[in-house]
């Protein structure tokens, strides 16, 4: 525990940074399980309760809109009170939302379902924003690695969650709850545990401590670099935000409709769980490598690779036979990988392009747009699929991913990570 008057040496900073990453890893392991519930069965619940394929993208849109509001609030609260309180209460809200979804499906209440999904989105935003906690005390040339450490731990719960669809469905049925609500029982427990871990263990608060270090070293390289290249920093942040948003639009659009597409062609819930589980694992597990890749070759090259992989995913999903489980697995795994590359590289650009004293607010604001565009993608995906089919949806998503590549030309910096050390 440090005090406001204590001098933070580089050695002590790295010691606290390592402890912070440990806490983040533990919380994200739980958070990943909560995140997977809405992805796996949200669209199926909506289809059953609303009786419409065109409206089956609503759950994704609702919890993404809830995530957008939460992202805004998290950024503001973090700037004032630190990451511990912001993230802890964000996960708690997500857990309460998951409980609401279970009640809504049990009671057959559509208004309650919509409201609960909106609140459940708080967990999605918190899970995403926790990645920034790993960067607060990281060295400039280790920002990508720090982001990846926070993200990869999500894999544990995120992969387990979808593959527990059938066991959790049986548990739900034994409790008198509809089978599809089972994953939300898991989400409630997982999100609440993640919040408790952060509230109790994330001490000292990494964001508040980074502000103390900034004040202690008021003439530091980080501050002077950030203020000395204002115009270029804004471009870096813009490109980072575009990379995040486009990757999210493509991923959400294709992913949301995949369970509906599979069920329409008589694939089992177990098959859906397998595909989504491998997809979610591909979203997070590659962080073992992608963070270091960003630090090594630079975020621009990594983002370009992400755009190309998202294109490949869309084409494979579009042209694979509907009853070909292998094709769906490959397409959705590539979809997860492309999203991961976009998220890690985009986040790294945002971290390097923002001033430390306003970083949390900017991060929260960017994640708002990230979630809003994701919500729009969730809604439009159902409409497009209903009107033109899953193949057209997948192709459109893949082509859209290519926008990332020319957007990267807006930055004047070299691809070397050292260029972003501010």
Q: One digit per residue, pLDDT tens: the chain, 422 residues?
A: 554 446 778 888 889 999 999 999 899 888 888 876 666 677 778 778 877 666 666 777 788 788 889 999 999 999 899 999 999 999 999 999 999 999 999 998 989 998 999 999 999 899 888 888 888 888 877 888 888 877 777 777 766 766 677 788 888 888 888 888 888 898 899 999 999 999 999 999 999 998 888 877 765 444 444 444 677 788 889 999 999 999 999 999 999 888 888 888 878 878 887 888 788 778 878 887 898 899 889 899 999 999 999 999 999 999 988 788 899 999 999 999 999 999 999 999 998 888 877 888 898 899 889 888 887 887 788 889 989 999 999 999 999 999 998 888 776 544 344 444 43
DSSP 204: S
**93 and 123 in contact (C-beta within 8 Å)?**
yes
Q: How far apart are the first and last CA of the chain?
A: 27
84, HSE (Cβ side, Cα atoms, 13 Å): 14
pLDDT score recorded for residue 273: 79
Using CA atoms, how far apart are residues 18 and 125, in angstroms rounded to an integer? 23
Structure-token match 């565009």, residue found: 373
Confirm whether 326 is domain-assigned.
yes
Confirm whether 417 is domain-assigned.
no
Please, is 108 exposed, middle or buried when counting C-beta atoms within 10 Å of its C-beta (0-12, 13-18, 19+)? exposed
pLDDT score recorded for residue 407: 83
Using CA atoms, how far apart are residues 257 and 246, in angstroms rounded to an integer? 17
pLDDT score recorded for residue 46: 76
CA nearest neighbour of 400 among 240, 252, 234, 237: 252
Confirm whether 249 is domain-assigned.
yes
- Looking up residue 115, the CATH number of its domain turns out to be 1.20.1250.20
pTM for the model stands at 0.76
Q: Which domain holds residue 125?
A: 10-411
Using CA atoms, how far apart are residues 135 and 144, in angstroms rounded to an integer? 8
Confirm whether 367 is domain-assigned.
yes
Confirm whether 124 is domain-assigned.
yes
65: CB partners within 8 A, 6+ apart:
118, 121, 371, 372, 375
Confirm whether 422 is domain-assigned.
no
Confirm whether 261 is domain-assigned.
yes
- For residue 400, the tally of other CB atoms under 10 A from its CB is 18
Alpha helices in 134-229 (DSSP H): 143-152, 154-163, 165-174, 182-201, 206-216, 221-228
Confirm whether 319 is domain-assigned.
yes
- For residue 149, the tally of other CB atoms under 10 A from its CB is 24
**301 and 389 in contact (C-beta within 8 Å)?**
no
**307 and 402 in contact (C-beta within 8 Å)?**
yes
Domain total in the chain: 1
**226 and 366 in contact (C-beta within 8 Å)?**
no
**35 and 158 in contact (C-beta within 8 Å)?**
yes
353, HSE (Cβ side, Cα atoms, 13 Å): 24
């Amino acid at each position: 525990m440090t005090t406001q008057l204590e001098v933070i040496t580089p050695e002590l900073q790295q010691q606290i940074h390592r402890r912070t990453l440990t806490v983040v890893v533990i919380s994200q392991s739980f958070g990943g399980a909560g995140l997977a519930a809405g992805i796996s069965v949200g669209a199926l619940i909506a289809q059953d309760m609303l009786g419409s394929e065109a409206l089956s993208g609503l759950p994704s849109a609702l919890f993404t809109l809830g995530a957008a509001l939460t992202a805004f609030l998290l950024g503001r609260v973090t700037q004032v009170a630190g990451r511990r309180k912001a993230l802890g209460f964000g996960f708690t809200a997500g857990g309460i939302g998951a409980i609401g979804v279970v009640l809504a499906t049990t009671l057959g209440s559509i208004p309650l379902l919509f409201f609960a999904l909106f609140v459940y989105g708080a967990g999605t935003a918190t899970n995403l924003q926790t990645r920034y906690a790993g960067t607060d005390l990281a060295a400039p040339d280790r920002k990508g690695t720090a982001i990846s450490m926070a993200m990869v731990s999500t894999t544990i719960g995120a992969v387990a969650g979808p593959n527990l669809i059938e066991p959790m469905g049986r548990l739900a049925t034994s409790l008198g709850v509809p089978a599809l609500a089972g994953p939300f029982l898991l989400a409630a427990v997982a999100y609440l545990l993640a919040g408790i871990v952060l509230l109790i263990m994330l001490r000292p608060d990494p964001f508040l401590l980074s502000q103390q270090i900034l004040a202690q070293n008021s003439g530091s390289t980080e501050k002077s670099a950030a203020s000395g290249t204002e115009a270029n920093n804004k471009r870096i942040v813009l490109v980072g935000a575009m990379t995040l948003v486009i990757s999210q639009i493509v991923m959400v659009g294709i992913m949301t409709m995949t369970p509906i597409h599979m069920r329409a062609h008589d694939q089992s819930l177990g098959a859906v769980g397998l595909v989504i589980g491998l997809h979610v694992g591909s979203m997070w597990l590659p962080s073992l490598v992608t963070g270091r890749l960003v630090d090594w070759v630079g975020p621009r090259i990594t983002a370009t690779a992400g755009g190309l992989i998202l294109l490949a995913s869309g084409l494979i999903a579009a042209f694979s036979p509907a009853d070909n489980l292998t094709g769906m697995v490959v397409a959705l795994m590539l979809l997860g990988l492309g999203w991961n590359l976009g998220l890690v590289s985009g986040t790294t650009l945002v971290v390097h392009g923002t001033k430390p004293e306003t970083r949390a607010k900017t991060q929260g604001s960017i994640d708002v747009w990230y979630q809003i565009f994701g919500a729009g993608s969730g809604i439009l995906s159902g409409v497009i699929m209903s009107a033109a089919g899953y193949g057209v949806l997948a192709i459109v998503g893949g082509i859209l991913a290519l926008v990332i590549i020319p957007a990267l030309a807006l930055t004047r910096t070299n691809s070397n990570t050292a260029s972003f050390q501010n």
